[in-house]
């Protein structure tokens, strides 16, 4: 009788577990079936392969944040946020991409509506003989990510300016973004803006390399990375863009709260080793680089526009107003769709 009772208990327990699994599967199926159709969207990341900071779309896709909003997201890569292909995708409304004030000030009919990473994550790393910004005179500096006018070129220009130098006092070397780290380690360039995971790997491969400055310390109010779309697309399908941003807001929050779950996804997306990815996540969350809400602010946007005008990237009399660059109302809608604003540690953007 005891054997029979144990058998009955085992069968009942197995049935309970099986029922739970079936119920869980049924819930997932019901969620999928609640979508009359999956809405397709293409989302671009600014670097090929992406840096850790750019991986929110991959995390949102792998963790099902897009799917639960009936979105079928295709994630593609661009060779720099200021590349011609990225600008064309934004203008044509064929992809949700990173867009900046300079492109908008020059006439691109797009608008930001979610700040992926308001603060700059990079450090400007230099060869061992460079100790100050003045030592960059005559050196070879990176112009990856768009060449002249691209991010690395602009950051190099800012550091040169801090020492009273101009872009004509150094040699800027254009190259593929994937060549930033190996170029510095091999001595092909003397200075480059590197993301935290590459700073970690650079010091590991060549300990004599120096961090000249953290870019966020040099330009604390600079708006680093914001997703945007064409004005026509925003008018035509605001709900899709709102929901896509909400999915990525959830992904950013997961970076803060569930590191173990996101690390394998980011490893795969970036091709970086686990220790470098973990180092980068710690740095990005500690310094509030990733947004946890809308990531946009009128003050940061205005400062960035003024800086671009001062540097001649935008004609001073044609600088766009803040409201032309950033759609704060749509950003707020995306935050509400993600469950409302939150604070994670000291991070509130």
pLDDT of 111 higher than 70: yes
Contact (CB, 8 A) for 191 and 124: yes
Q: Which tens digit of pLDDT belongs to each residue from 125-160?
A: 999 999 999 999 999 999 986 788 888 998 999 999
Determine the Cα–Cα distance for residues 73 and 75; give it in Å rounded to an integer: 6
Alpha helix (H) ranges present in 119-237? 151-161, 180-185, 196-205, 215-218, 231-236
**pLDDT at residue 83 in the model:** 59
The band of 119, judged by pLDDT with boundaries at 50, 70 and 90, is very high
Task: Give residue 11's pLDDT.
Answer: 35
Distance in Å from the first CA to the final CA of the chain: 65
Give the three-state DSSP class for 135: helix
Percent with pLDDT over 90 in the chain: 77
Distance between CA atoms of residues 244 and 331, nearest Å: 11
Residue 81: per-residue pLDDT: 54
Mean pLDDT of the chain: 88
What average pLDDT score do residues 171-197 get? 91
Read off the pLDDT of each residue in 59-75 and give the average, rounded to a whole number.
97
**140 and 180 Cβ atoms separated by less than 8 Å:** no
CA 69 to chain centre: 21
d(C-alpha 113, C-alpha 96), whole Å: 10
d(CA 90, CA 26): 39
Residue 17: pLDDT band (50, 70, 90) is very low
Q: Per-residue pLDDT tens for 173-182?
A: 998 877 888 9
Look at residues 334, 320, 274, 282 and name the one whose alpha carbon lies nearest to residue 99: 320
**Does the pTM of the predicted model rise above 0.75?**
yes
Check residue 24 and give its pLDDT. Answer: 38
What pLDDT is recorded for position 165?
97
How far apart are alpha carbons 272 and 270 in whole angstroms?
A: 5
Closest by Cα among 168, 190, 170, 192 to 180: 192
Rounded to an integer, what is the distance from CA 256 to the centroid of its chain?
Answer: 14
Q: Is the pLDDT of residue 297 over 50?
A: yes
- Percentage, residues of the chain above pLDDT 70: 88
């Amino acid at each position: 009788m005891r054997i029979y009772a144990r058998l009955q208990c085992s069968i009942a327990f197995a049935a309970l577990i099986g029922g739970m699994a079936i119920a869980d599967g049924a819930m997932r199926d019901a969620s999928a079936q609640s979508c009359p159709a999956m809405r397709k969207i293409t989302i671009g990341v600014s670097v090929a392969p992406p840096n850790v900071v750019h991986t929110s779309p991959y995390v949102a896709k792998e963790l099902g944040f897009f799917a639960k909003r009936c979105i079928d997201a295709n994630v593609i890569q661009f060779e720099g946020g200021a590349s011609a292909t990225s600008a064309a995708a934004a203008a044509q409304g064929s992809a949700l991409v990173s867009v900046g004030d300079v492109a908008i000030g020059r006439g691109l009919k797009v608008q930001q509506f979610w700040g992926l990473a308001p603060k700059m994550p990079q450090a400007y790393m230099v060869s061992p003989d460079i100790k100050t910004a003045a030592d960059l005179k005559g050196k070879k500096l990176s112009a990856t990510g768009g060449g002249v006018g691209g991010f690395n070129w602009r950051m190099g220009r800012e550091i040169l300016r801090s020492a009273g130098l101009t872009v004509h006092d150094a040699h800027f070397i254009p190259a593929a973004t994937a060549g930033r780290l190996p170029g510095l380690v091999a001595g092909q360039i003397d200075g480059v803006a590197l993301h935290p995971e590459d700073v970690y790997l650079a010091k590991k491969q060549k300990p004599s390399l120096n961090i000249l400055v953290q870019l966020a310390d040099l330009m604390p109010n600079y708006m680093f990375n914001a997703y945007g779309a064409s004005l026509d697309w925003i008018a035509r399908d605001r709900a899709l863009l709102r929901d896509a941003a909400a999915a990525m807001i959830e992904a950013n929050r997961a970076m803060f709260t569930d590191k173990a779950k996101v690390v394998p996804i980011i490893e795969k997306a970036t091709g970086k080793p686990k220790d470098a990815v973990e180092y980068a996540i710690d740095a990005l969350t500690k310094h509030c680089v990733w947004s946890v809400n809308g990531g946009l602010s009128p003050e940061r946007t205005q400062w960035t526009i003024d800086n671009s005008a001062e540097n001649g990237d935008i004609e001073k009399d044609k600088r766009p107003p803040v409201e032309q660059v950033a759609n704060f109302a749509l950003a707020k809608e995306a935050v509400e769709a993600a469950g409302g604003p939150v604070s994670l540690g000291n991070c509130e953007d």
